[in-house]
Chains A and B, each alone.
Chain A
C-alpha cells in the first residue's frame, strides 16, 4: 500500500500499482498514470476502452477480460494492443483506476 499525490489528490495504490478506490479516479489522474506507463497521450479511443472498463468494474467488481473487451467495447484486439502496448487488460485497468483483472488463475 502507498499513498501518492496525483493531480492534486491523495490517492492510494496497492503493491502492484493499482488504485484501491476507483471513486478517487479522474481523467487527470488517468493522464498521469498513462504517462507513467509510457503512453504520452490519451485519445478518444483510449477513453472508449477506459470508460468500458470502469463500467464493467462498477457492474461486476472486476475488470473485463480482453475477450470481453473486444466483444463489447467495439475496439478490435489489434487496436487494443496498439493503444495499450504490452498487455491491454492489465495496463488499461491500471489507467482506469480499477483493481488488477482476475483473469490469471
Chain B
C-alpha cells in the first residue's frame, strides 16, 4: 500500500482529499488526513458576524461531515515533519510514514507579534475579526457602541484575504448609517501599503470608494506598537493614530509545526514552486492554500484553483510523468461594499484586476471592478456553494486558470 498524508483539514486540505479520494485506487492507496480541530469554519463568513448578518451557527460545521468514509482521519496537532525520512510525528505520539505528503496547514493571526496589542485593550476596545472569538466579541461591542473613532489597521503583509479589511470598513460605513450614528463615527483605514490595495488599478478604484464613503485612508503606516492606555497606535517612524475602537489585522503566520520542521520562511510559510506547487527541494511534498509562500492572495478561491492544478500534477508525479499543470496565481474575490452591493475582482500573478464581465464575456452576470447588486448576491450565494460544492471537491463553473476573455485593459 502506498501512503498519502494530508496535513490540515481546512478549506484546501478537505478539498484536496475529496478530489483525490475518488481517483486513487483504494487497493493501492491509503489516504490519511490530520487536523487538530474537529470544527470546520467558513472563514469568509467571519466578516459578517460583527454586523449581526451571520451568527456562529452560520459558519461552523463538523469536519467529519466532509470526509469520505475510506479516508483515515486523525485529530491531533502536528509535532514535526521529517522530510528526509518521509515521516510526520504527531503530538498524540503517532508517527505516520508517507510516500507523498500534501501540506495544507494554513495561516493564523499572531496579535502577540505587535508590542502592546494583547494587553489591557485586547477584546475590550481592540478586536480582530479573523477568529470566531474575535468576531463574536466585536459583534457584542458594536451593539452598545455609541460612536467615536474606528481605526482599522493592517499590521503587515501578507494577510489572509487581502480584501477583507476593505470590506470591513465598507460594511461599517453601511452599518453605522443603518444604526443612525454614522455622523458620530469617524472611520480610518490605516495600512502599510501605499494605497487601498496591493495592485495599482484596483487600488485606485478602492481608494475612490473609500473617499465616496467618507473613510480616511492613512497609507505607508508600519505599526511598531499599541499604547492601549492612551488608545493610540504608533508606527516605527513615530507617527501616531488615535482610536476609540481598534480593529486589527494582526501578523499572519504559517503553522508552528512548519517552523519546528525547518520547512518555513521567517513567517513559517513554505517555499513552494509557484507553478507546480511542489515544496522547493522536496519532490514528494506538495503545498496548497495559505501555507505556501506564493506571491498570490491567501484566499479560498486561490486554494480552489490550486487544487485543480495540484490534482493534475499529483497524478503525474505518482506515475513518474513530468508535471504538466502550471498554477498562474489566479484569484477571484467578491468584495462586499455595503448597502446590498458588491465589487468583483479576478486576477493572477501577471494580470492585475481589470474591469469587464464575469464569468461570461460581455454577459456577466457579474461585473468586474464595479459595484453592483448582482455581485453582492454572488457573495451571499457563495456560502451555499462553499458548504455544498467547493469543499466537497465538486467542479465549479470557473476555470482554474484566469482568462482575459471579458476583461478590458
Contact = CB atoms under 8 A, between A and B. Distances in A.
B296 interface: yes
Given A65-B266, A68-B265, A102 B220 contact: no
Contacts of B224: 77-78
B333 to A, nearest CB: 12
B236 A81 contact: yes
B266 A105 contact: no
A21 B64 CA distance: 53
Interface stretch (B32-40, B54-62, B154-162, B255-263): B154-162
Nearest to A60: B271
**Interface residues of chain B: helix, strand, loop or mixed (majority):** loop
Contact of A81 (B222, B267, B295, B297): B222
A78 B236 contact: yes
Contacts of B156: 66-67
A63 B297 CA distance: 19
Interface string B220-234: 101010000000000
Contact of B193 (A66, A71, A78, A104): A104
Contacts of A17: none
Given A65-B266, A71-B266, A81-B237, A104 B220 contact: no
A85 interface: yes
Which range holds the interface residue count of chain B? 10 to 19
Given A68-B265, A81-B236, A86-B237, A105 B295 contact: yes
Contacts of A105: 157-158, 162, 198, 295-298
B266 A68 contact: yes
A85 B222 CA distance: 12
A11 B198 CA distance: 28
Contacts of A66: 156, 222
B267 A67 contact: yes
Contacts of B193: 104
Q: Which 10 A-B pairs have the closest CB atoms?
A: A81-B236, A68-B266, A81-B237, A104-B198, A67-B266, A105-B158, A102-B295, A105-B198, A105-B295, A71-B266
Interface of B: 156-158, 162, 193, 198, 220, 222, 224, 236-237, 265-267, 295-298
